[in-house]
Amino acid sequence: MEYVYVLQSGKDGNFYTGWTNDLRKRFSEHQNGKVYSTKRRLPMKLVYYEACIDRKDALKREKYLKTAWGKRYLKTRLRDYLMG
């Protein structure tokens, strides 16, 4: 199983989208400052994830979520969370 996930920075509120085959381990790496892309934006909060059957599907989904359409999808999907 592969996962696509979205984190939100507690420092600047921006999102980070990634993929992994071990969501708990990867989230721990983010939280412990071991990921270059997010270590200056800690703490990170897991706000969304999807499970995919294989890596190819996860990579396609990650790429989509990083597009303008994907970002719009996430804002709609997370509307209640973002409204507080």
DSSP E strands in the chain: the ranges are 2-9, 15-20, 44-52
Query: What is the value of pTM for the model shown?
Result: 0.93
Average pLDDT, the chain: 96
Give per-residue pLDDT as tens, 38-65: 999 999 999 999 999 999 999 999 999 9
Cα separation, 20 vs 60, whole angstroms: 13
Look up the CATH superfamily of 2-83: GIY-YIG endonuclease (3.40.1440.10)
Domain ranges of the chain: 2-83
Helix, strand, coil tally for the chain in percent (to 5): 40, 25, 30
Q: What is the C-alpha R_g of the chain?
A: 12
